[in-house]
């Protein structure tokens, strides 16, 4: 079988790495990929991003399954187009992807189907938005409606921050169209967890739990990023909480989408806040795997991911189950200087060879140039390790990081710390 993976981040490197281990798979192409996928002998990068050209490629190369990593091509309807061309692809249609591409859509959907989430209001009018803050007060959360690469959320601890966020989004157009409509919601407290499932529209197969670290600096300080590190499993997701998440969030979402005439096929990611009383609220939906959550999750996955996704793309997920290694895995993101703002790129990366069977370095913003590996994006590497315990995995990953060098590298020193409470 031939597989095409769309995307160029750490998530896509991890997907390509896992899919290429399937005995059913002959060749994996990644469009456009990064230096990590380029260096792998079974994986081939192709420099195509245009949808029509990707479809032509899939037909010419007899691609049996296409897997979409990021949200932008999903929201632009890549799945709709592949299906129109009778090609198998795993991911939601643009209609289903609205669960991620519009916060207003997802909040209305949750309200309609009684899925627990923070109270909210939606605004396009700047004065009304400011008035709402005056009424509600801080802390409060201001979110751009559309896609903003994980940067469109301001958790405002003061009224001033909330008013500024409104001005940035609605008046100064900082996020363009994505911020022309905003959702303002109640501030929630608790511990976050990422819960991702595979779905074929009917059957749901949950992946192992994980926890991301969104803020740039240690102790959850600094700006929000796409994610600076993750580990799996997340101890907060006990078997009871797992069942609660399935019953209160995941299954009502899949059933609700079907009822609304928008079947959801793909990875569904629920970002959750779990409070001290184990009450669960949904912070957001993503219609794809998380990055960096994918890296530690797939590092623990036993068995054949290709077969599961191939069956899911044909509506036959019920024939599959999923098994996990009885261990913990962790990924620590090394990001470029100045990330999450305009990152400094083109710095040479050294020291990537020290991996063993318990460690791996997934590439994200990297590129090959004259046999050198250079930084090419904000999040550069996902340094990944597994161990019998999270502590062991964490120590291995930080040991590996000590070997790796590029100018201005920034990473958090406390990934996994919350799990040790």
| Contact footprint for ligand GLY (CB under 6 A) | 150, 212, 226-227, 286, 290-291, 293
| Residue 229 binding: pick among ligand GLY, ligand AMP, none (C-beta 5-8 Å cut-off by kind) | none
| Residue 198 binding: pick among ligand AMP, ligand GLY, none (C-beta 5-8 Å cut-off by kind) | none
What Rg, from alpha-carbon coordinates, does the chain have? Answer: 21
| Residue 224 binding: pick among ligand AMP, ligand GLY, none (C-beta 5-8 Å cut-off by kind) | ligand AMP
- DSSP letter at 244 equals H
Nearest residue to ligand GLY, scored by beta-carbon proximity? 227
Q: Is 188 in the site for ligand AMP (CB under 6 A)?
A: yes
φ/ψ region of 212 (left if φ > 0, alpha if ψ in -120 to 50, else beta) reads beta
Query: Which one among 54, 58, 110, 141 touches ligand AMP, defined by CB under 6 A?
Result: 141
Which window, 39-47, 92-100, 186-194, 328-336, contacts ligand AMP (CB under 6 A)?
Answer: 186-194
Smallest separation (angstroms) from ligand GLY to the CB of 159: 28
Q: For the chain, how long is the longest CA-to-CA vector?
A: 60
Interface pattern 90-119 for ligand AMP (x via CB under 6 A): ----------------------------x-
Query: Which is nearest to 126 in space by CA: 177, 169, 94, 89?
Result: 169
Distance CA 267, CA 272 (A): 16
How many residues of this chain interact with ligand AMP, rule: CB under 6 A? 15
Nearer to ligand GLY, 5 or 63 (CB): 5
| Residue 78 binding: pick among ligand AMP, ligand GLY, none (C-beta 5-8 Å cut-off by kind) | none
Neighbours of 373 (CB within 10 A): 23
Smallest separation (angstroms) from ligand GLY to the CB of 23: 29
Distance CA 262, CA 384 (A): 36
Interface pattern 276-305 for ligand AMP (x via CB under 6 A): -------xx---------------------
Query: Which one among 91, 146, 233, 271 touches ligand AMP, defined by CB under 6 A?
Result: 271
List of residues 6+ apart from 315 with CB closer than 8 A: 200, 201, 202, 265
| Residue 227 binding: pick among ligand GLY, ligand AMP, none (C-beta 5-8 Å cut-off by kind) | ligand GLY
| Residue 13 binding: pick among ligand GLY, ligand AMP, none (C-beta 5-8 Å cut-off by kind) | none
| Residue 308 binding: pick among ligand GLY, ligand AMP, none (C-beta 5-8 Å cut-off by kind) | none
Q: Is 187 in the site for ligand AMP (CB under 6 A)?
A: yes
Specify burial of residue 135 (Cβ count, 10 A radius: 0-12, 13-18, 19+). Answer: exposed
- Please report which helix (H) or strand (E) contains residue 328, including its range: strand 328-335
Query: Which is nearest to 132 in space by CA: 157, 158, 164, 140?
Result: 140
- Please report which helix (H) or strand (E) contains residue 140, including its range: strand 140-144
Q: Is 156 in the site for ligand AMP (CB under 6 A)?
A: no
Query: Which is nearest to 284 in space by CA: 121, 109, 47?
Result: 109
Neighbours of 278 (CB within 10 A): 12
Query: Which one among 30, 115, 144, 153 touches ligand AMP, defined by CB under 6 A?
Result: 153
Smallest separation (angstroms) from ligand GLY to the CB of 153: 11
| Residue 291 binding: pick among ligand AMP, ligand GLY, none (C-beta 5-8 Å cut-off by kind) | ligand GLY
Helices 305-313 + 10-19 axis angle, to 10: 100
Q: In sequence order, what DSSP letters do the residues of 245-294 get, joined into one string?
A: HIIIIIHHHHHHHHHTT---EEEEEEEEEE-TT--EEEEEEESS--TTTH
Query: Which one among 100, 185, 291, 311 touches ligand AMP, defined by CB under 6 A?
Result: 185
User: How much of the chain is in helix, strand and coil states, percent to nearest 5?
Assistant: 35, 30, 40
Q: Is 155 in the site for ligand AMP (CB under 6 A)?
A: yes
Kindly identify the residues of this chain, within the stretch 196-225, that bind ligand AMP according to CB under 6 A.
214, 224
Helices 251-259 + 103-112 axis angle, to 10: 100
| Residue 244 binding: pick among ligand GLY, ligand AMP, none (C-beta 5-8 Å cut-off by kind) | none
Which window, 185-193, 261-269, 288-296, 355-363, contacts ligand AMP (CB under 6 A)?
Answer: 185-193
Nearer to ligand GLY, 193 or 373 (CB): 193
Q: Which residues bind ligand AMP (CB under 6 A)?
A: 118, 141, 143, 153, 155, 185-188, 192, 214, 224, 271, 283-284
């Amino acid at each position: 079988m031939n597989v095409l993976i769309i995307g160029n981040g750490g998530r896509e490197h991890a997907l390509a790495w896992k899919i290429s281990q399937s005995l059913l798979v002959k060749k994996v192409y990644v469009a456009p990929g990064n230096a990590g996928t380029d260096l792998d002998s079974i994986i081939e990068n192709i420099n195509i991003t245009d949808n029509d050209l990707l479809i032509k490629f899939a037909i010419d190369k007899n691609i049996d399954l296409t897997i979409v990593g990021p949200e932008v091509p999903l929201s632009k309807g890549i799945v709709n187009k592949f299906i129109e061309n009778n090609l198998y692809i795993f991911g939601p249609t643009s209609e289903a992807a609205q669960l991620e591409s519009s916060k207003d859509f997802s909040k209305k959907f949750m309200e309609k189907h009684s899925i627990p989430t923070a109270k909210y209001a939606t605004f396009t009018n700047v004065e009304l938005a400011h008035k709402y803050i005056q009424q509600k007060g801080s802390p409060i959360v201001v979110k751009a409606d559309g896609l903003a690469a994980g940067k469109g959320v301001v958790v405002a601890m003061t009224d001033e921050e909330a008013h500024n966020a409104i001005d940035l989004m609605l008046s100064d157009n900082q996020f363009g169209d994505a911020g022309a409509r905003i959702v303002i919601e109640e501030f929630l407290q608790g511990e976050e967890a990422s819960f991702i499932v595979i779905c074929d529209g009917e059957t749901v197969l949950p992946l192992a739990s994980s926890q991301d670290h969104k803020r740039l600096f240690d102790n959850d300080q600094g700006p929000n990023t796409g994610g600076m590190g993750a580990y799996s499993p997340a101890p907060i997701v006990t078997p009871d909480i797992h069942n609660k998440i399935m019953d209160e969030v995941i299954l009502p979402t899949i059933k609700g989408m079907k009822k609304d005439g928008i079947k959801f096929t793909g990875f569904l990611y629920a970002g959750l806040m779990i409070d001290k009383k184990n009450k669960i609220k949904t912070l957001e939906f993503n219609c794809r795997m998380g990055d960096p959550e994918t890296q530690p999750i797939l590092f623990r996955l036993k068995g054949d991911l290709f077969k599961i996704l191939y069956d899911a793309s044909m509506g036959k997920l019920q024939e599959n189950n999923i098994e996990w290694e009885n261990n913990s895995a962790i990924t620590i993101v090394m990001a470029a200087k100045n990330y999450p703002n305009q990152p400094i790129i083109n710095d040479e990366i050294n020291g990537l060879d020290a991996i063993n069977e318990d460690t791996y370095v997934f590439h994200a913003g990297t590129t090959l140039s004259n046999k050198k590996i250079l930084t090419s994006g904000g999040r550069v590497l996902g340094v990944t390790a597994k161990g019998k315990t999270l502590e062991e995995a964490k120590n291995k990953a930080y040991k590996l990081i000590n070997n790796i060098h590029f100018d201005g590298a920034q990473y958090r020193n406390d990934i996994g710390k919350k799990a040790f409470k």
